[in-house]
Structure 1
Amino acid sequence: MENRPEIEFRQLRYFVTLAEELHFGQAAVRLQIAQPSLSRQIQLLEQQLGATLFRRSQRQVQLTPVGQIFLEQARLTLEQHERTIEITRNAAQQQIDVLTIGFEPCATFHGLLAVAKQFAQDYPQIKLISHQLTAPEQHEAVRRGRIEAGFLHPPVDAPGLVYEKVLEETFLCALPTSHPLARRRRIALEALTDDAFILFPRSLAPACFDIIYELCHQAGFRPKVQHETSDLNFCLNLVASGTGVTLVPACARERQVQGVTYRELSRATPQVESGFLRRSGEPPTLAFTQLLALWRAHAADCH
């Protein structure tokens, strides 16, 4: 098959204008080009198509039947071309950056809600999409590019991934406001030996879970888990109802739930670290850098 040069949109505009004017001189004026140039482009177009589009005489120019068919299609092509350009330009003007992250369920205790709210206020042009995922699910999602970063607890030992520390927190006790110990400024953990605990499954946040059990072990008891839930909001509501007590990271105190009182522990507690997992070897996007800075600032305020 003979290879013919590709037809340009410019040639289609020339053809449509000439088909509407049916006069080379008037069409050239309308197109703001020289008449010989228009004639050459129409001849080239006919050669490329292998068809005669116009009948020419000294007195008039007429479309051939093939020219009539080509005119309809050329107009459709040009209209679609213009629509495509307009839609793309409009999208560019109204474009919203998208940042997709994952988070462990316990992230709500580490400032997620406050940070998400502040991020929306500071960067309304960025759409934040978040997915609740376990640590292994986040590893896979980051590797496959389904999320840009994942908020979790270390350790992170995975090739191709890098960890960005966000905060370190101690633990507080969350107990019913009606609890006798709620009147104290600080609480000795051993004073909760006989209290029912409300905890979350270890699979939800292994680092936090292990620290809580280690703290109780150091205080000489094993927590009596009355209720286990993966919904941390429900956990605080259960505390408010008097069902039991729980231990939470320090940033959780911003979650003001009626009937829940937060108290520091009398002994220093181990700190739990949280941060973001992302792909190594790739510079972070501006949107992620902004979220990271905002979360770190929020963590500093918590202290």
Structure 2
Amino acid sequence: MELRLLHYFATLAEELHFGRAAQRLCISQPPLSVAIKQLEQELQAQLFERSSKGVRLTAAGEHLLGKARQLLALSHQAAQETRDVAQGTRGHLRLGFVGSSLYRGLPQALAQLQLSHPQVRVDMLEANSAEQILGLQQMRLDVALVHSIQPPEGISSQLIVEEPFVVCLPDHHPLCDGESIDLAELRDDRLILFSNLVSPTYHQRIYEMCLAHGFAPEVRHEVRHWLSVISLVSLGQGVALVPAALERVGLPRLVFRPLLGEHPRSEMLAMWRSAPANPLVQTLLAHLQQAAQMLDI
């Protein structure tokens, strides 16, 4: 059955008058009569009884009216939801993220997204940068929040956060007494570092920072998450160079100090498929940038 015919039928069923129904439909009366006859022939059922006293529904027409209203409502809903998805006001967003993003405005951005787009569902997956890039390429993720990494072909990127590395120390470390630290002062300390397999960019960046200050760091532990890095520092297992945002974690027995001089910075980027792109990606990016500004990152 054509939705057009059901629309004509429902309008006539409400008006029970061909002239008024045609006027509501903005058509003349003959096409309406033809449409109703076409629908009756298709269903092999008489839908209206016509007499000099007017028009009334048959039992078959009464039954069809309820079904027609349901189908027309579903059609309208489907059309509206499709428009909403295309415009980015409704839909489903699959978000990959690295752990440090939880301290770089992601929770605040998601809260604002929920307020501005209550019909949007967000599914989250914590994974390292390489795993997220693969998720984008395999269309299992719509957007990825990753550490500094070169996007492959077909993947767009946008810088969300850029901030300095700071020194993370256990609170009993002698260097806690100073207001800032020269990186060379860590030459005799054991370094807790991101695994080269998980984040080769960060691993190499921190290693090269140490080499630039005249020493190759003694790496005590290599871990998969920044929270694991600072947790081991709080247990006295070594020191670490971490993004400044991790000062917000609030773990006990930790002291953070800025580095003296100019150094490479820690970056978080958003990445997404250039095509087809989920319209909600740009909405989330706007909220992420606003959240980073509010946190003064």
User: Structure 1-normalised TM-score?
Assistant: 0.70
Change in 2 beyond 3 A, CA 1:249/1:8: same
Percent identical: 24
Q: 1:187, 1:264 within 8 Å by CA — same for their partners in 2?
A: yes
Q: Aligned Cα RMSD in Å? A: 4.1
**1:13 and 2:7 are equivalent in the alignment:** no
- Bigger mean CA offset, 159-168 vs 274-283: 274-283
> Shift in Å at residue 137 of structure 1?
2.8
Distance change >3 Å, CA 200–CA 154, structure 1 → 2: closer
After the TM superposition, which residues 204-219 of structure 1 pair with which residues of structure 2 at under 5 Å, given as runs? 204-217=198-211, 218-219=213-214
* Structure 2 match to 1:77: 67
Structure 1 residue 51, shift from structure 2 partner:
5.0
Alignment partner for residue 239 of structure 1, among 233, 255, 258?
233
Deviations 1:123-166 (A, max 9, x none): 42245543223333333333344433322244425222233233
Give the gaps of 5 or more residues in structure 1: 18-25
- Structure of larger gyration radius: 1
Q: 2:116 aligned to 125, 130, 133, which one?
A: 125
Give the number of equivalent residue pairs: 278
Residue of structure 2 in register with 1:28 after alignment: 17
- Are residue 287 (structure 1) and residue 283 (structure 2) matched? yes
Q: Distance in 2 between matches of 1:232 and 1:181?
A: 21
Query: What SS does the aligned partner of 1:288 have?
Result: helix
Closer/same/farther in 2, CA of residues 60 and 150 from structure 1, 3 Å limit: closer
- Tell me, which stretches of 5 or more residues in structure 2 are unaligned? 24-28
Q: Using a 3 Å threshold, how does the CA distance of structure 1 residues 10 and 100 change in structure 2: closer, same or farther?
A: closer
**SS state at 1:187 partner:** coil
Normalization by structure 2: what TM-score? 0.71
Report the counterpart of residue 137 of structure 1 in structure 2.
131
CA contact (8 A) 1:5 1:48 kept: no
Indicate if the aligned counterparts of 1:213 and 1:223 stay in contact, CA closer than 8 A.
no
Measure, in 2, the Cα distance between the counterparts of 1:232 and 1:5. 58
Matches of 2:261 and 2:51, distance apart in 1: 103
Change (3 A) 1:33 1:206: closer
Q: Secondary structure at the match of 2:215?
A: coil
Asked if the contact 1:7–1:45 (Cα under 8 Å) also holds between the matched residues in 2, the reply is no
CA contact (8 A) 1:196 1:223 kept: yes
Residues 28 and 280 (structure 1 numbering): CA distance in 2 closer, same or farther, change over 3 Å? Answer: closer
